[in-house]
Amino acid sequence: METKGPRILIVDDELQIRRFLRVSLTSHGYDVKDVGTGKEALDEAAIFGPNLVILDLGLPDIDGLDVLYNLREWSKVPIIILSAKEQEQAKVMALDSGADDYVTKPFGMGELLARIRAGLRHTMAAGEEPVLKFDDLSIDLAHRNVKLMEVEVKLTPTEYELVKQLANNAGKVLTHKYLLHALRGENFENNIQYLRVYMGHLRRKIERDPSRPRHIITEPGVGYRLL
């Protein structure tokens, strides 16, 4: 019996995009199911049991955000949002509401495949490894120890909490609101300048060239991602 790869559910009302994604992902070994409405998405999420969902926000029957909220009531499956450029606010709301990542239309298949691998990897590796390694950067969660090129980096408690949040969600976009809530609580969720200051301090300590960061990448208008 043929062994199939991870199951991916595609939710998009554009038939051409669904066909393109289905053919491309199937050729890379994924087991793919595609639907065009929010209702079908919710039904198939329960029946098909996907390992990852690719969700368009602009659906004809149920708003994509409502599909996301419904899924998050009972499932932790990684969800990658497909969005148009003019949907930035909806994109931020989706990430704050539990989406794991987003890809803006039009998109390259190579980028989407990388985001899929990151989403699946994060799910499978969650909580299994106390020492997280990212090229020349290592983070020992058990001992609250951070090293760059095997040399210990001295971080303040706020800087450590920031890099820990990013490391525990590696590959995933964390919004400004999410990070500020984790660092200072809900009263500071809109203080983006505060976050930028601490991000600048952190980058100076863990990046070889802070002006060209390799580890912590800025997602303009949205937040940050640890590669």
Residue 1 lies in a domain: no
* Of residues 101, 64, 58, the one with CA closest to residue 79: 101
Can you give the CATH number for the domain in which 159 is found?
Answer: 1.10.10.10
pLDDT, residue 134, reads 86
Can you give the CATH number for the domain in which 54 is found?
Answer: 3.40.50.2300
pLDDT, residue 202, reads 94
pLDDT-derived band at 188 (thresholds 50, 70, 90) equals low
Residue 15 lies in a domain: yes
My answer on whether 139 and 94 are in the same domain is: no
My answer on whether 21 and 82 are in the same domain is: yes
Domain end among 125, 142, 167: 125
Q: Which pTM was predicted?
A: 0.69
My answer on whether 30 and 107 are in the same domain is: yes
pLDDT, residue 216, reads 93
My answer on whether 85 and 138 are in the same domain is: no
pLDDT digits (tens, 9 = 90+) for 114-123: 999 988 876 6
Domain end among 125, 160, 184: 125
**What domain range is 111 assigned to?**
7-125
Count of structural domains, the chain: 2
Q: How many angstroms separate the CA atoms of 148 and 138, rounded?
A: 7
My answer on whether 96 and 178 are in the same domain is: no
My answer on whether 112 and 160 are in the same domain is: no
For 27, 102, 146, 191, the CA distances from 87, given in Å and listed in that order, are: 30, 11, 37, 22
pLDDT, residue 186, reads 64
- DSSP strands (E only) in 44-150: 52-56, 79-84, 101-105, 131-134, 137-140, 145-148
Residue 158 lies in a domain: yes
- Six-digit token pair at 136? 């020349």
My answer on whether 161 and 104 are in the same domain is: no
My answer on whether 196 and 216 are in the same domain is: yes
pLDDT, residue 128, reads 46
Residue 2 lies in a domain: no
pLDDT digits (tens, 9 = 90+) for 81-95: 988 766 778 888 888
pLDDT digits (tens, 9 = 90+) for 145-158: 899 999 999 999 99
Q: How many angstroms separate the CA atoms of 219 and 159, rounded?
A: 19
Residue 174 lies in a domain: yes
Q: Which amino acid is at 115?
A: R
Query: Is the predicted pLDDT of residue 1 greater than 70, yes or no?
Result: no
My answer on whether 213 and 136 are in the same domain is: yes
My answer on whether 89 and 165 are in the same domain is: no
For 97, 135, 166, 181, 225, the CA distances from 161, given in Å and listed in that order, are: 21, 20, 9, 11, 15
Compute the average pLDDT of residues 138-144. Answer: 81
Domain end among 125, 143, 165: 125
My answer on whether 32 and 109 are in the same domain is: yes
My answer on whether 58 and 114 are in the same domain is: yes
pLDDT, residue 14, reads 93
pLDDT, residue 162, reads 92
Report the sign of the C-alpha dihedral through residues 158, 98, 85, 18, in that order.
Answer: positive
Residue 53 lies in a domain: yes
